[in-house]
Structure 1
Amino acid sequence: MHTLNLGILAHVDAGKTSLTERLLHTAGVVDTLGSVDDGSTRTDSLALERRRGITIKSAVVSFTLGTTTVNLIDTPGHPDFIAEVERVLGVLDGAVLVVSAVEGVQAQTRVLLRTLRRLRIPTLLFVNKTDRTGARYGSLLASIAERLSPDTVAMGATRHLGTREAATTPFTAADPGFTAALTELLTRHDDGLLAAYVDDPAALTHPRLLEALARQTARCLVHPVFFGSAATGAGIDALVDGITALLPAATGDPRAPARGTVFKVERTANGERTAYVRMVEGTVRTREVLRFRSPDGREGEGKVSAVGLFEDGGEVPVPAVGAGRIARLKGLTGIRIGDSVGEARAEAGGRHFAPPTLETVVLPVRPEDRGALHVALAHLADQDPLIAVRRDDLRREVSLSLYGEVQKEVIQATLADEFGVDVTFRTTTTICLERPVGTGAAAEFIDTDPNPFLATVGLRVDPAPYGSGVEFRREVELGSMPHSLMRAVEETVYSTLSQGIHGWQVTDCVVTQTHSGYWPRQSHSHGTFDKSMSSTAGDFRNLTPLVLMDALRRAGTQVYEPMHRFRLKLPMDTFGALVPVLARLGAVPEPPEPRGALCTVEGVVPAARVHELQQVLPGATRGEGVLESAFDGHRPVAGPVPERPRTDHDPLHRKEYLLRTVRRVAG
């Protein structure tokens, strides 16, 4: 029996969850199809998902297709919940990307396939809703080739498109057009196949072409395209055959040391944390003590109290789970999303999608709920680490990072429904970044005014290449002071850079420690420890922000705002009226590309203005304009520099900082 961990991905409303339900029905797991509109699907189990008719959290369901056990992961399609998709990608053996036969290739569709190809995840395309009015075949295939990938091939023909009788007929060896298209596609990626065709075209038999199609699909070189309808079941059998024949099964040695990845964390009704784990190697058993490690180096361990395996649409308790399978583990207190379990090994990490670009302050309606709100947000951050909770203890406020307004509404409803905390939000703002523009250095020395701390710290800040993040280096000898004090400086550098000169996260820089010094542990003649004569880690944690911000101020910083790449389709005669609108929004359009009475315009626009562009577009284009946009990096802010209120003791203002830190001002 083979195992396939399969992801279903799509732009919102393309029909992912309906396809999942249809596959469960085809596999015999459910007798009656659930409905997204009725809130009766198997994978949309949250009350909020059923009310809104959208997928918010990824869900796992297992079923058997022939000799293959499929662990299917249904993911959200709305871009506000892209973090859920982010976490799933690392555990997939293959994917089905759903495209609507009516709406066609949409913004999120393009983002998803680009990411799947970059991560080399084998992907099939399923064109859904062939029974809907306006469904397309030939023009949609051309759009897929142009806007998604030219390395695609239709696996069947359709008839009665746009009606309830819509059906799909798979291509066979008797279809010369299919054989020719398959040959042209596959020989582009296989010189051996091309040479065989040149020597003797008849050598490329239909079985040989299908074998090559499976190999190239598994290498993410090509993407077979299936047509059908999740609502009527048309084309589903052909898709099932494609899933089992073209997507590679999970690999891994169950006898190797245990190793896996956590992609989802939930809490049970009694508050117990459970981890969804994809086992890469080895086997995990109940009552086994399992170590886990986060990407940032945090480590922990716990005893596995129970293992739940997904099987035939449900979950069953089992004594162990082996390589290639997905299971729920209980008992691992402190485990988080993104942690690796078992044997540590360097994994290909990095973020697959853009980080959140929006931020809002969340406030309890009832002031007495402030403590309950902090607890609830900590629970939500466990389940979604990209909801970066930023606490401002000075103002007693909490900020959240967001992808969009829909996510904010969902968080508000979740806090009310699950935690009984009613909240309101302040106006959503854009999250900017700061980058150093030059080099700056500063140092303060022990027992030298105006330094009140028993520590010597010198730091230099240098700019680094775009996208490189923050790197800490040392020009001092490691033995010049204890490791705990060295570590205190390094950790404080990283935490301090969360707020730069203008209050934004500082990135793309190298911070080098240039000076160090301390007073060894001192004691009186009777052996008692004398804090007033001995350096502690606290001295270094308090002094480092002052030195670092002084160095950063000398280096200078530039504030960058997030940008979106946009693509507009609109009537050509409305473009002139839209130009001043784009200019007012700070957008930079490229020359339009005319296509008959329509034109396509691409360009960049500040992320903060995308929503406004969506609102004005219908009026400016007679309701015919279509907008796609996706994150496209950062650019320097033009005009007044936005300031972000600080949440720390503000080392930029020495007197206030020292009053709050040591309750006295030295020097």
Structure 2
Amino acid sequence: NIVDTPGHMDFLAEVYRSLAVLDGAILVISAKDGVQAQTRILFHALRKMNIPTVIFINKIDQAGVDLQSVVQSVRDKLSANIIIKQTVSLSPEIVLEENTDIEAWDAVIENNDELLEKYIAGEPISREKLAREEQQRVQDASLFPVYHGSAKNGLGIQPLMDAVTGLFQPIGEQGGAALCGSVFKVEYTDCGQRRVYLRLYSGTLRLRDTVALAGREKLKITEMRIPSKGEIVRTDTAYQGEIVILPSDSVRLNDVLGDQTRLPRKRWREDPLPMLRTTIAPKTAAQRERLLDALTQLADTDPLLRCEVDSITHEIILSFLGRVQLEVVSALLSEKYKLETVVKEPSVIYMERPLKAASHTIHIEVPPNPFWASIGLSVTPLSLGSGVQYESRVSLGYLNQSFQNAVRDGIRYGLEQGLFGWNVTDCKICFEYGLYYSPVSTPADFRSLAPIVLEQALKESGTQLLEPYLSFILYAPQEYLSRAYHDAPKYCATIETAQVKKDE
């Protein structure tokens, strides 16, 4: 099965979610454009997750291509541990031939003592030994074969596919191991049916099986499909290594079916947060409900897209990572859902953080408290990037779980809007005190009172407005280094360290 992923920065989180399910990756580089910024980011992610990778230099049939320059940029900017698998002649016509030169195997030989000794001694080295060492190095993600071609014209595709089938090995346990699979994609059909895609790492999945969702309820398999020969077909049984498509309204992205301990590879945990927001509205008021339904579906398929309705203005608020992502959403609303929308200019998403430790208590039957509940909360600021922590210091023996859950729900709601109207983060909230009257007090009283108490505690603490910032690596030719140092402060950027590598 082939998983095709976008290369633009705004969709890198989607790429990262797919990485964990791959046996291997083909990193496509345009012969015309060479190694781009996102190429480096993708390659870094592949290296970090130790995913076997083959590099394919595409579009070699375009005019003005300099393959030597492209290969050198791969060595300089991605990895020196590459092996060129073909000799390429571009004129008078394009000819691709297998590279049989022993020097092409330098990257394979130099990291194997036995092969290196034979090479230095001038002894012959069999192609079988070289091929075995190459396959092992590729599987270890320490060697990267380079192939050439033109996908549009089918040039060089067969050698690439032969390499993929020969070099990549299925991840996961073979044979009759316990069931394990993870969800990497959610989609909605044109009919509105929700489907989840999962990679089956081990075991066998059968129709009418009841399987465990890690940490959650069990799932009954009532329908199952798999990709086969370019089509999606029904099946009664799915085996280790296959991609399985299930209809489900409850299974979420990154859910694990079966035994979570058998996951062969750690999942990517570095999804960025949305940094921009805008208001979106239908051109006709009658389409508002349809727009909300469509945005809910789109947000379900992409964790970096969030949709909410402002409780005061009732405007539809859309939070996202980048402008290209917003353009794609607008296109999907128009083409798939037949909705014409009005989108305002995006603005930056801020957050709030308490300035100092503070606490507040509201007592039962003390006006103006209208609820049959007493709640005391404390707020303590944490270091930047810590997120929100919660602790209950009220005994479950006194205040039972349903009341405790209601307090936490109320706090979660209260954190959505701080003193400046933004989400509150980087703090610890402690439930210090609670009192109820039996039998009149209900969880709803605690759920309603908690955000009011939290607001008062935040007023006593005060909050600091946090602006989003990104850390990044800037690559520039050495002759522009002084310009980079000069211009960075103009854009509120701070250069922490600088390294020189060849001409960068």
The yes-or-no answer on 1:275 pairing with 2:275 is no
Cα deviations by residue, 1:228-270 (Å, 9 ceiling, x for unpaired): 2223444333322321222222333564443322222233343
Q: Distance between the aligned counterparts of 2:199 and 2:79, measured in 1?
A: 29
The yes-or-no answer on 1:129 pairing with 2:35 is no
User: Residues 595 and 269 (structure 1 numbering): CA distance in 2 closer, same or farther, change over 3 Å?
Assistant: closer
Where does 1:180-329 land on structure 2 (aligned, <5 Å)? 180-184=106-110, 186-187=111-112, 202=123, 206-253=127-174, 255-292=176-213, 299-329=216-246
* Helix, strand or coil at the partner of 2:158: helix
Residue 53 of structure 1 corresponds to which residue in structure 2?
A: none
One-letter identity of the residue aligned with 1:413: A
Length, aligned pairs only: 501
Q: Is contact 2:304-2:321 (8 Å) kept? A: no
Residue 326 of structure 2 corresponds to which residue in structure 1?
A: 408
Where does 1:493-504 land on structure 2 (aligned, <5 Å)? 493-504=411-422
Cα deviations by residue, 1:498-525 (Å, 9 ceiling, x for unpaired): 33333333333332222233223x2xxx
Q: How far apart are residue 97 of structure 1 and its match?
A: 0.8
Q: Distance between the aligned counterparts of 1:402 and 1:335, measured in 2?
A: 23
The yes-or-no answer on 1:171 pairing with 2:171 is no
Q: Distance between the aligned counterparts of 1:355 and 1:473, measured in 2?
A: 24
Q: How far apart are residue 407 of structure 1 and its match?
A: 2.5
* Helix, strand or coil at the partner of 2:183: strand
Residue 87 of structure 1 corresponds to which residue in structure 2?
A: 17
One-letter identity of the residue aligned with 1:322: Y
User: Residues 440 and 197 (structure 1 numbering): CA distance in 2 closer, same or farther, change over 3 Å?
Assistant: farther
Residue 447 of structure 2 corresponds to which residue in structure 1?
A: 541
One-letter identity of the residue aligned with 1:179: W
Cα deviations by residue, 1:369-407 (Å, 9 ceiling, x for unpaired): 212211121222222232111221321111112233332
Q: Which residue, 72, 87, 92 being the options, matches 1:157?
A: 87
One-letter identity of the residue aligned with 2:102: P
What is the RMSD computed on CA atoms of the aligned residues? 3.4
One-letter identity of the residue aligned with 1:485: F
Q: Distance between the aligned counterparts of 2:431 and 2:124, measured in 1?
A: 66
Q: Distance between the aligned counterparts of 2:270 and 2:413, measured in 1?
A: 24
**For structure 1, which runs of at least 5 residues remain unmatched after alignment?**
1-70, 523-533, 601-667
Residue 382 of structure 2 corresponds to which residue in structure 1?
A: 464
Q: Distance between the aligned counterparts of 2:415 and 2:77, measured in 1?
A: 39
Q: How far apart are residue 358 of structure 1 and its match?
A: 1.8
Q: How far apart are residue 195 of structure 1 and its match?
A: 9.1
Residue 368 of structure 1 corresponds to which residue in structure 2?
A: 286
**For structure 2, which runs of at least 5 residues remain unmatched after alignment?**
none
User: Residues 573 and 112 (structure 1 numbering): CA distance in 2 closer, same or farther, change over 3 Å?
Assistant: closer
Q: Distance between the aligned counterparts of 1:357 and 1:399, measured in 2?
A: 13
Q: How far apart are residue 431 of structure 1 and its match?
A: 2.1
Q: Distance between the aligned counterparts of 2:74 and 2:356, measured in 1?
A: 45
Q: Is contact 1:182-1:209 (8 Å) kept? A: yes
User: Residues 247 and 423 (structure 1 numbering): CA distance in 2 closer, same or farther, change over 3 Å?
Assistant: same
Cα deviations by residue, 1:165-222 (Å, 9 ceiling, x for unpaired): 23333333xx2322333223x34xxxx6699679978597543343232222212223
Q: Distance between the aligned counterparts of 1:336 and 1:257, measured in 2?
A: 21
One-letter identity of the residue aligned with 2:233: V
Q: Is contact 1:444-1:458 (8 Å) kept? A: yes
Q: Is contact 1:309-1:327 (8 Å) kept? A: yes
Residue 474 of structure 2 corresponds to which residue in structure 1?
A: 567
* Helix, strand or coil at the partner of 1:476: coil
The yes-or-no answer on 1:106 pairing with 2:23 is no
Residue 335 of structure 1 corresponds to which residue in structure 2?
A: 251
Q: Distance between the aligned counterparts of 1:86 and 1:399, measured in 2?
A: 26
User: Residues 221 and 165 (structure 1 numbering): CA distance in 2 closer, same or farther, change over 3 Å?
Assistant: same
Where does 1:4-15 land on structure 2 (aligned, <5 Å)? none
One-letter identity of the residue aligned with 1:130: I
One-letter identity of the residue aligned with 1:277: L
Q: Distance between the aligned counterparts of 2:398 and 2:120, measured in 1?
A: 72
Q: Which residue, 68, 73, 91 being the options, matches 1:143?
A: 73
Q: Which residue, 391, 411, 421 being the options, matches 1:473?
A: 391
Q: Is contact 1:501-1:557 (8 Å) kept? A: no
Q: Distance between the aligned counterparts of 1:352 and 1:590, measured in 2?
A: 22
Q: Is contact 1:364-1:421 (8 Å) kept? A: yes
Which structure carries more strand by proportion?
1
Q: How far apart are residue 481 of structure 1 and its match?
A: 0.9
Q: How far apart are residue 106 of structure 1 and its match?
A: 0.6
User: Residues 305 and 397 (structure 1 numbering): CA distance in 2 closer, same or farther, change over 3 Å?
Assistant: same
TM-score by length of 2: 0.87
Q: Distance between the aligned counterparts of 2:388 and 2:290, measured in 1?
A: 34
Q: How far apart are residue 154 of structure 1 and its match?
A: 2.5
TM-score by length of 1: 0.67
Q: Distance between the aligned counterparts of 1:179 and 1:519, measured in 2?
A: 80
User: Residues 574 and 276 (structure 1 numbering): CA distance in 2 closer, same or farther, change over 3 Å?
Assistant: closer
* Helix, strand or coil at the partner of 1:506: coil
Cα deviations by residue, 1:418-454 (Å, 9 ceiling, x for unpaired): 3232111011112233334443333333344554332
* Helix, strand or coil at the partner of 2:224: strand
Q: Is contact 1:276-1:329 (8 Å) kept? A: yes
Cα deviations by residue, 1:97-145 (Å, 9 ceiling, x for unpaired): 1111221111111111111121222212111122222323333233223
Q: Distance between the aligned counterparts of 1:300 and 1:591, measured in 2?
A: 49
* Helix, strand or coil at the partner of 1:262: strand
User: Residues 581 and 311 (structure 1 numbering): CA distance in 2 closer, same or farther, change over 3 Å?
Assistant: same
Q: Distance between the aligned counterparts of 2:153 and 2:209, measured in 1?
A: 46
Q: Is contact 1:196-1:203 (8 Å) kept? A: no
**Identity, % of aligned pairs?**
32
One-letter identity of the residue aligned with 2:151: A
User: Residues 215 and 447 (structure 1 numbering): CA distance in 2 closer, same or farther, change over 3 Å?
Assistant: farther
Residue 426 of structure 1 corresponds to which residue in structure 2?
A: 344
* Helix, strand or coil at the partner of 2:3: strand
